Amino acid sequence: MAETLATSRRNRTKEHLQLALIDLIKEKGFQAVTVKDIVEHSKYNRSTFYIHYHDKFYLAEDLLNSMLKGLEEAVAKPYEMRKKVDTVKLNANSFEIITYIYENRNFFELINFQDTLPELHTKFPKTILKIYQEKFQFKTVNNMPVDMDYFTRYTAYGFYGLLTHWINTRFEATQEEFIAEVIRLARTHMEAVKYVGDFNTLKQ
Amino acid sequence: MAETLATSRRNRTKEHLQLALIDLIKEKGFQAVTVKDIVEHSKYNRSTFYIHYHDKFYLAEDLLNSMLKGLEEAVAKPYEMRKKVDTVKLNANSFEIITYIYENRNFFELINFQDTLPELHTKFPKTILKIYQEKFQFKTVNNMPVDMDYFTRYTAYGFYGLLTHWINTRFEATQEEFIAEVIRLARTHMEAVKYVGDFNTLKQ
DNA sequence: CGCAAATTGTCTACTAAATAGACACTTCAA
DNA sequence: TTGAAGTGTCTATTTAGTAGACAATTTGCG
């Protein structure tokens, strides 16, 4: 599983091409970026580009996939999101996603742009959802008044909304502030769900 | 004068090593950065480092020199700073320095740090002064009440003060706002000098 | 303090990544 | 409509980057 010498050298070059693409999208939009631009910006030979990628779309795909893969991997182990508010296992450590996005903000800022990486605007939220579904385990309880699948989707896209806002405001809030805000919203949400559940139980 | 293929390829590698150094200084301070850190961060072999630089100090020197050289070159042709306020040739186009610094803010942010690039804190202001002395021609007039050499130094370091503040506030003001502010201050300064000159002339 | 671990600087031999350049083809303004 | 710019593919060449070993230093832990 150890990265061979060969691939590490190749990967380095690929990364530089990817970085060039990011810069150029911000500068002139994905549409207008040419392979020539990319190699001039990254100071490689045009031939070198074609050794690694068939065209700019393959480069774009590789870039997007590796960033979203990184995002998933940043959240290694599953967390428990218990229903009971006072024992909720939500804390700053639960948000490696946020740290990852912040550390790679040069990339994630691309969502600010219209003419940007193909599929970024669809695959990014889908990945957030996937993470929520696979890594966050919301504990169901007997009087849970909502469908768990819907609950997860709702929560994930809510979080996505907060994320895009954070990115769009150029990370005005610090990581800590943002995490605190997210936790506060999630807690409130769960609390509300719990109350509704209890209320329904009472009615019966 | 055309850059040979060989040197362009070498320069690319050198640039990547320099970028790694910048990141690492921000992360742990220049002092603590090792050659090993640099090559791990930039994903080169340690041997490769020594092909290009003798040690981290030579790398640091090369980085600093090339950035300051770039700064000087960004201000190609000399501008005239006429004395008469109403015809002063100061405008947004006169400030390629500012554009250059903004475009290379990743580097210039290093002045925020204590344990940073050796000589940065002395050579940067000296370069600003050099630019003022060589590229900006302040027209003397008969009743000029101040020594031109002192005037230039004063003006240059005044500008340096504004620059460091702009950098330290993480480029809070936009380029345009900052340039406008600098022009406003320079105009006021010159106006004051002119009034003092006129006043002295009257007294005689 | 005193030793082990980590880092440094220098070298050598190897190889594969990057290069130049040529080709036919497509795109797109002027 | 034409020519300038970009594309994708290929081949032969070079050289930048690599691994690994070495002795010398430096670091920092117990």
Closest protein CA to C1' of nucleotide C19, residue? A45
In angstroms, what separates the C-alpha of B114 from chain A's closest C-alpha?
23
Which positions in chain A have a beta carbon within 8 angstroms of at least one beta carbon in chain B? 8, 11-12, 15-16, 43-44
d(CA B181, CA A164): 33
For residue B33, what are its two tokens?
């950065």
Q: What is the pLDDT of residue B122?
A: 94
Residue carrying structure tokens 């092909």? B51
d(CA A32, CA A50): 19
d(CA A123, CA A68): 8
Q: What is the pLDDT of residue A83?
A: 47
* C1' (D18) to CA (B76) span, angstroms: 41
Q: Which region, left, alpha or beta, applies to residue B122 given φ > 0 means left and ψ of -120 to 50 means alpha?
A: alpha
Is the CA virtual torsion B2, B8, B10, B15 positive or negative?
positive
Neighbours of B49 (CB within 10 A): 21
Closest partner CB to A43 (pick from B12, B43, B44): B12
A with B: how many residue pairs have Cβ under 8 Å apart?
A: 11
The whole-number average pLDDT for the span A8-36 is: 96
All residues of chain A having their beta carbon less than 8 Å from the beta carbon of residue B43 are 8, 11-12, 15
Return mean pLDDT, chain A. 85
- For residue range B5-40, list pLDDT tens digits in order: 556 788 999 999 999 999 999 999 999 999 999 999
Contact between A14 and A62 (Cβ < 8 Å) = yes
* C1' (C17) to CA (A53) span, angstroms: 14
- Strand D footprint nucleotides (protein C-beta < 7 Å): 5-11, 15-21
Give the nearest nucleotide to A37, CA to C1'.
D6
Closest partner CB to A12 (pick from B8, B11, B43): B43
All residues of chain A having their beta carbon less than 8 Å from the beta carbon of residue B44 are 12
Which positions in chain B have a beta carbon within 8 angstroms of at least one beta carbon in chain A? 8, 11-12, 15-16, 43-44
Give the nearest nucleotide to B9, CA to C1'.
D16
Non-local CB neighbours of B140 within 8 Å, separated by 6+ positions:
B83, B148
All residues of chain A having their beta carbon less than 8 Å from the beta carbon of residue B12 are 43-44
- For residue range A29-85, list pLDDT tens digits in order: 999 999 999 999 999 999 999 999 999 999 999 999 999 999 999 887 656 665 444
- For residue range B58-116, list pLDDT tens digits in order: 999 999 999 999 999 988 765 666 544 444 456 555 678 999 999 999 999 999 899 99
Least confident of A8-17, A192-201, B87-96: B87-96
* C1' (D1) to CA (B8) span, angstroms: 39
Contact between A123 and A64 (Cβ < 8 Å) = yes
B43 touches strand C (CB under 7 A): no
Q: Where residue B150 falls among pLDDT bands split at 50, 70, 90?
A: confident
Q: What is the pLDDT of residue B162?
A: 93
Closest partner CB to A8 (pick from B12, B16, B43): B43
> What per-residue string of b and e applies to B76-90 under the rule 16 or more CB within 10 Å gives b?
eeebebbbebeebeb
Neighbours of B20 (CB within 10 A): 21
DSSP label at A55? Answer: S
Whether the model clears a pTM of 0.75, i.e. scores above it, the answer is yes
Residue carrying structure tokens 């903000």? A105
Q: What is the pLDDT of residue B86?
A: 43
Q: Where residue B198 falls among pLDDT bands split at 50, 70, 90?
A: low
Question: Taking 70 as the threshold, does the pLDDT of residue A141 lie above it?
Answer: no
Q: What is the pLDDT of residue B35?
A: 97
Least confident of A8-12, A149-153, A162-166, B57-61: A149-153
d(CA B193, CA B88): 13
Contact between B81 and B137 (Cβ < 8 Å) = yes
Closest partner CB to B8 (pick from A8, A16, A43): A43
B54 touches strand C (CB under 7 A): yes
What's B74-96 look like in SS3? HCCCCEEECCCHHHCCCCHHHCH
In angstroms, what separates the C-alpha of A139 from chain B's closest C-alpha?
39
Cα of A87 vs its chain's centroid, Å: 27
pLDDT, greater one: B156 or B81: B156
The whole-number average pLDDT for the span A170-179 is: 91
Strand segments (E) across A15-174 = 79-81, 136-138
Nearest to B104 by CA among B15, B11, B2: B15
CB contact under 8 A, A16 and B11: no
Burial of A67 (0-12, 13-18, 19+ CB in 10 A): buried
Q: What is the pLDDT of residue A189?
A: 76
* C1' (C28) to CA (A28) span, angstroms: 18
What's chain B look like in SS3? CCCCHHHHHHHHHHHHHHHHHHHHHHHHCCCCCCHHHHHHHHCCCHHHHHHHCCCHHHHHHHHHHHHHHHHHHHCCCCEEECCCHHHCCCCHHHCHHHHHHHHCHHHHHHHHCCCCCCCHHHHHHHHHHHHHHHHEEECCCCCCCCCHHHHHHHHHHHHHHHHHHHHHCCCCCCHHHHHHHHHHHHHHHHHHHHHHHHHHHHHC
DSSP label at A143? Answer: T
